[in-house]
Amino acid sequence: MPEPKIDALVFDVLGTLVDEPAGIRAGIRRLAPSLDGPGTERLLALWQRHIEREQRRILDGDRPYLPSDALDREAARIVAGAAGAGDPAAAAELALSARRLPPWPDTVAGLARLAERFPLIGLSNASRTALLEINAHAGLRWHQALSAEDARTCKPDPAVYRLAVTASGRPPERLLMVAAHAWDLRAARELGLRTAYVARPAGDPPAPSDRFDLHADGLADLADRLGGARALPG
């Protein structure tokens, strides 16, 4: 990526900057402390399948848009029922685990380092309220955080990425989308954004056919690779 002209970095949040499975897994363990490891993982997979399926139904027009809070409550009720916890208060508490997500070890320092040279924009499927709490809990540093709720849809709908383009006031090719999910980067690239894949244990690795602008092992590596890049003055 020789001397790219980048005005801002756009970051996926869930999975890229915070360990979403770890946060939900911790909530399941609080709900059902007697569960063994495989049992916890089965319930985590049940949660993940519900969110993925329902977001796909929203994208396909098979159900009206719902913010992430509502989908998390649905998933929590399903998981709590499968765990034998019928108390609605227990399910409500479990739903909040989707906001108590730990950052990856390099996230906070990496964002601080990148923020010295670039405006940082968070772009998440999390609702406005959930995103606020996720950011606060994990200590994420942003210049602006945008929720897909403002587009009334979810990634990878192009309308979500347009939120970042509009907020930045720059053409898409002057923005670098950073994500641990290849599907996220493909959608951003379709709209003209530059793309950077950051490897995470819970991410979606690129396919051999993917051609992203950057591949990084983490945020420190990303900062190193952007050493020759510069944010242009407004």
Q: Which CATH number fits domain 8-19+102-225: 3.40.50.1000, 3.40.30.10, 2.40.50.140, 3.40.605.10?
A: 3.40.50.1000
* 61: Cβ contacts below 8 Å, ≥ 6 apart: none
pLDDT tens for residues 39-75?
999 999 999 999 999 999 999 999 999 999 999 999 9
C-alpha torsion sign, points 94, 126, 145, 108: positive
Sheet containing 194-198, strands listed edge to edge, beginning at the edge strand earlier in sequence: 144-147, 120-124, 8-11, 175-179, 194-198, 214-216
pLDDT tens for residues 138-171?
999 899 999 999 999 999 999 999 999 999 999 9
86 confidence band (pLDDT: 50, 70, 90): confident
pTM of the model: 0.93
Mean pLDDT rounded to a whole number for the chain: 94
Domain limits, the chain = 8-19+102-225, 20-99
Query: Mean pLDDT throughout 173-178?
Result: 97
pLDDT tens for residues 121-144?
999 999 999 999 999 999 998 999
